[in-house]
Amino acid sequence: MAAREIKRTAGFGRSSGNKLARIVVKFGGTSVATVERIRQAARHVKREVDAGHEVAVVVSAMSGKTNELVGWVNEASPLHDAREYDAVVASGEQVTAGLMAIVLSEMGIQSRSFAGWQVPIHTDDAHGAARITEIDPTELDKRMKDGWVPVITGFQGISPHGRITTLGRGGSDTSAVAVAAAVKADRCDIYTDVDGVYTTDPRIVPKAQRLARISFEEMLEMASLGAKVLMIRSVEMAMAYKVRLVVRSTFDDPDAPQVAPDGSDTGVPGTLVCDEDEIVEKQIVSGVTLAKAEAKITLRDVKDNPGVAAAIFGTLADQGIIVDMIVQNIADDGATTDITFTVPDSEYDKAIKTLKDAGDRIEYARISGSKGGAKVSVVGVGMRSHAGVASSMFKALADKGINIQLITTSEIKTSVLIDEQYAELAVRALHTYYGLDKKDV
């Protein structure tokens, strides 16, 4: 207790990775796919413990195990009770947690496993997609103060009725963030098979750079736009509870020096996802994202009545069709308007048929559209204070002769729909234009 207080008062800096800290670390399925990999993961934990940090671990199931369990459940019955699905599927993390505790103990670190119900991690009773309602930090807090490393099953908790719940696929990230919030951790390190968040997809732009820092808001826009590094929900929760996240690789040498990719003071070799306030030099644009196979559909001369948009998109939602971009112009004749939106190419035919069938309820003159679009977006909190990002983006694309079909904007993101064949060209052009290219490649 006293030791802890000394740590806290000894300049427990937010941005420092070198001072003593309380850290929650989370390992995904590929990081714990075998006992050998669990050992590799445990060496990262050991490094933090040896440095004097307090550490709790959250683990996913071994890669492939959850799929195996889900397969059995579906074989047992395609229409199964979600509570039994949860009881079966939650067993995967129980295995990893026990194995991790054993490996840590063998390394001389005091450790024990906790199933979600043992912590306990309380959730609602929405089995299969439960939400964490409360985590009792008492036992975890006590263990960590006593120098123990608790290993907690990710992805699961216990319902008000005492049944095991799961949070939905990828929920271990959310578990980790929730635990970090509950124990007031200074950092939540998400160990995965990539070494951070990049300015864009390195397969498209070899000069893409790993970011040392990115804001929660930017990460949310990046994640929803296809940078599948973190579950959106976990980022939302991290933002709400101000839990600083680090995205980093399990496969890095655990004993290598801990240095930020740009040599800055985050002190961790990965991307720190944090509050905007922690980012001093804000880039206007932090990243460029791409989503392909987007089809656009236009309804012309739609009766411009209140509720018409709700009717259109409600009809599509009823059919399970997910709409991405939506653009509506002001009615030029004061009576009708044009509405354009995008859906995945695979849903195009279904969407057209759904709207034609609903012709009696939704009044419009013509419907048209085409598949094969690509959505290119630039994301950056710097946009808030810099006017003209949209127009500069359009100019950069025009310089390459790329025609823009649709435009949507949010506070920190501008997206355009273009012909899919120009997708990579557009991403490379924008990456260079906003100064994101790595210098030494």
What token pair was written down for 433?
């234009």
Q: Please say which residue, 80 or 356, places its beta carbon nearer to a second copy.
A: 80
Minimum distance of a second copy from residue 291's CB (angstroms) = 37
Task: Specify the residue for token string 């070799």.
Answer: 269
Minimum distance of a second copy from residue 193's CB (angstroms) = 21
Give dist(CA 313, CA 316) in Å, integer. 5
Q: Please say which residue, 102 or 425, places its beta carbon nearer to a second copy.
A: 102
Q: Which residues bind a second copy (CB under 8 A)?
A: 35, 38-39, 69, 72-73, 75-77, 79-81, 83-85, 87-88, 90-92, 94-95, 97-99, 101-103, 105-106, 112-113, 115, 117-118, 162-164
Whether residue 254 has a cis bond before it, omega within 30° of 0: no
* SS3 (DSSP) at 288: strand
Half-sphere exposure of 358 (CA within 13 A, CB side): 23
By residue count, the chain amounts to: 441
Task: Identify the bridge partners of residue 165 per DSSP, sorted by sequence position.
Answer: 157
Minimum distance of a second copy from residue 87's CB (angstroms) = 4
Q: Please say which residue, 109 or 297, places its beta carbon nearer to a second copy.
A: 109
Minimum distance of a second copy from residue 118's CB (angstroms) = 6
Q: Please say which residue, 38 or 182, places its beta carbon nearer to a second copy.
A: 38
Task: Identify the bridge partners of residue 418 per DSSP, sorted by sequence position.
Answer: 374
The one-character DSSP state at 381 is G
Q: Please say which residue, 156 or 337, places its beta carbon nearer to a second copy.
A: 156
Q: Please say which residue, 92 or 157, places its beta carbon nearer to a second copy.
A: 92
Instruction: Report yes or no: 56 and 144 within 8 Å, Cβ to Cβ.
Output: yes
Between 91-106 and 82-89, two packed helices, what is the crossing angle to 10 degrees?
Answer: 20
H-only helix segments in 194-296? 216-224, 232-241
Q: Please say which residue, 81 or 349, places its beta carbon nearer to a second copy.
A: 81
Minimum distance of a second copy from residue 8's CB (angstroms) = 30
Minimum distance of a second copy from residue 89's CB (angstroms) = 8
* SS3 (DSSP) at 51: coil
How far, in Å, are 172, 184, 258 from residue 252 at the CA level?
21, 27, 10
Q: Please say which residue, 38 or 393, places its beta carbon nearer to a second copy.
A: 38
* SS3 (DSSP) at 339: strand
How far, in Å, are 309, 404, 405 from residue 327 at the CA level?
11, 13, 11
